[in-house]
Amino acid sequence: MRSVYRVAQVRAAESALMAALPSGTLMQRAAAGLARRCAVTLRGLGGVYASRVVLLVGPGDNGGDALFAGALLARQGVQVGALLSDPARAHAEGLAALRGAGGRVLADWPKRVDLVVDGLLGIGATGALRGTALTLAEQLTALTTRPPVIAVDVPSGVAVDTGDVPGTAIRADVTVAFGCLKPAHVVGPAAVLAGQVELVDIGLVPHLLGDPALRVADTADIAAWWPQPGPVSDKYTRGVVGVATGSAGYPGAALLSLSGALAGPAGLVRYAGSAHEIVVPAHPSVIAAPRLAEAGRVQAWVCGSGLGTDERAAAEVRGVLAAPLPALLDADAITLLVDGSMANELRSRDAPTVLTPHDREYARLAGQDPGPDRVAAAQKLASWTRSVVLLKGDRTVVAGPSGEAWVNPTGTPALATGGTGDVLSGLLGSLLAAGLPAIRAAVAAAYVHGLAARIAAESGPVTAVDVAAALRTAVASLTRTPTGTAPVRPT
């Protein structure tokens, strides 16, 4: 698991650490890590010596990190030039170090640039880029041949605590993060701009206080949580999941959600719904019935995908809410929750509940869009509904009623196709039936669902059927991945 901290927590930790170190030590540590990563990139481009690096330097410590790193590169024979967004406020010691090592301040972009280091704005900045910083960012974008970009701690122009991008921002190929991850590295549109994030240890971790703002699971976490059958297990002790999805109008939703459930750890899958006649030919191991009341004993319910919003559907959702069992509500079930009485039934439940909205479903239930802070939005809805909320997106957010929040690192645009959410619901319900706590079930399902989509995408365009078919391979990969590692998101 990787922990993610907000700016206030990072600033407090930096203050505590700097009080125990000689002046300037922290910046030198950061600069050394940044320079090492720049050198790695330059070697991949053909060599360090005589390469040309442009530093985009803003005021304050972020610019200082870039200047000191530039000085280290200049001593290795790199031709380093700095474009200053605010010369009067540039870090004086860093500027002196750069000049002393043979670097220089530039008046304009040179004709050839091998690498750009973005040190315009750091974690203390707020709002969109403006002034000369905005001009430099726009000039970088307009270069005929765009060189690789390495961002100093965060890409300039992003909202660090939310992952939002309020205006023009710099797109980095690599972001060198100092001390710990920040929300902009892992969530929202800022995470895409961060590219590959590499963490440099500057001694900050022991001084980070309080719970992380976010957590990011890795493969070792998911493998450790995933329920496994033992020598005395049977289909009932492994968990029985009930699936109340699909309708005459949307029979595919039933088949897709069942595909997800069958790929999970539960030992038996029961189906209840009007698509029951087509379920058994497609999935012979599923026990099917026309209504919830006839389904038989289960340990968790999945309800909503393709269910419709008529009286029959509303009755099925109410039946699920009344059951003293873990439940997942998706799609039409979420739409039906907008009814005030049904929302009250949800909030009065004692059993765990998971809601899996996309943005439009979130807006219907919450009365407003998630907005720029997706983590806060998920936390707010989780608190109000007393449920775990899985807010779908490129970087899916999972939040619990207590405020605990996770972000999924395996998301992919391949999932932006009809029916993949139905597959996710079935898989998550299977984990609930197998006994996994609701928030872990949501985190694990999102993680494996994303892996499956990536596997499916290796063969071409992806459908929900492809994602469902790849789930078993994704689950099997959990035990083949060395402990402590996690897939790296392509950039």
Give the CA dihedral 286, 287, 293, 296, nearest 10 degrees. Answer: -110
Tell me whether residue 330 is annotated as binding.
no
Query: Is 153 annotated as belonging to a binding site?
Result: yes
Q: Any binding-site annotation on 412?
A: no
408 has binding-site annotation: no
How many other β-carbons are positioned within 10 Å of the β-carbon of residue 199? 15
Here the contacts of 370-378 (C-beta below 8 Å, separation 24 or greater) are: 372/159, 372/162, 372/164, 372/166, 372/188, 373/161, 373/162, 373/163, 373/164, 374/162, 374/163, 374/187, 374/188, 375/162, 375/163, 375/183, 375/187, 375/213, 375/214, 375/399, 375/405, 375/407, 376/162, 378/405
Structure tokens at 286: 């599923």
> Is position 103 annotated in a ligand binding site?
no
Is 125 a known ligand-binding residue?
yes
What angle (nearest 5°) sits at the alpha carbon of residue 283, between those of residues 278 and 287?
Answer: 85
Q: Does the annotation place 420 within a ligand binding site?
A: no
Q: Which two three-digit tokens encode residue 437?
A: 């706590």
Q: Tell me if 124 is assigned to a ligand binding site.
A: yes
253 belongs to an annotated ligand binding site: yes
65 annotated to a ligand binding site: yes
| Cα maximum dimension of the chain | 81
332 assigned binding-site residue? no
Rounded Cα–Cα distance for residues 127 and 199 (Å): 25
Q: Give the HSE-up count for residue 62: Cα atoms under 13 Å, Cβ half-sphere.
A: 27
**411 marked among binding-site residues:** no
Does 126 show up as a binding residue in the annotation?
A: yes
70 is known to lie in a ligand binding site: no
Q: Is 62 annotated as a binding residue?
A: yes
Q: Left if phi > 0, otherwise alpha if psi is -120 to 50, otherwise beta: which for 179?
A: left
- Interior angle at CA 245, CA 241 and CA 249, nearest 5: 160
Is 12 assigned to a binding site?
no
Supply φ then ψ for residue 10, to 5 degrees: -65, -45
Residue type at 49 in one-letter notation: Y
Q: Is 344 annotated as a binding residue?
A: no
Rounded Cα–Cα distance for residues 453 and 370 (Å): 25
Judge whether 99 is annotated as a binding position: no
173 is in an annotated binding site: no
- Is 118 labelled a binding residue? yes
The answer to whether 108 is a known ligand-binding residue is no
List C-alpha distances in Å: 382 to 136, 267, 352, 376.
41, 29, 12, 10
Q: Hey, what are 184's tokens?
A: 């902009």
**Annotated binding residues for K(+):** 62, 118, 156
**Annotated binding residues for (6S)-NADPHX:** 61-65, 122-128, 153, 253, 306, 358, 422
**Annotated binding residues for AMP:** 392-396, 421
**Annotated binding residues:** 61-65, 118, 122-128, 153, 156, 253, 306, 358, 392-396, 421-422
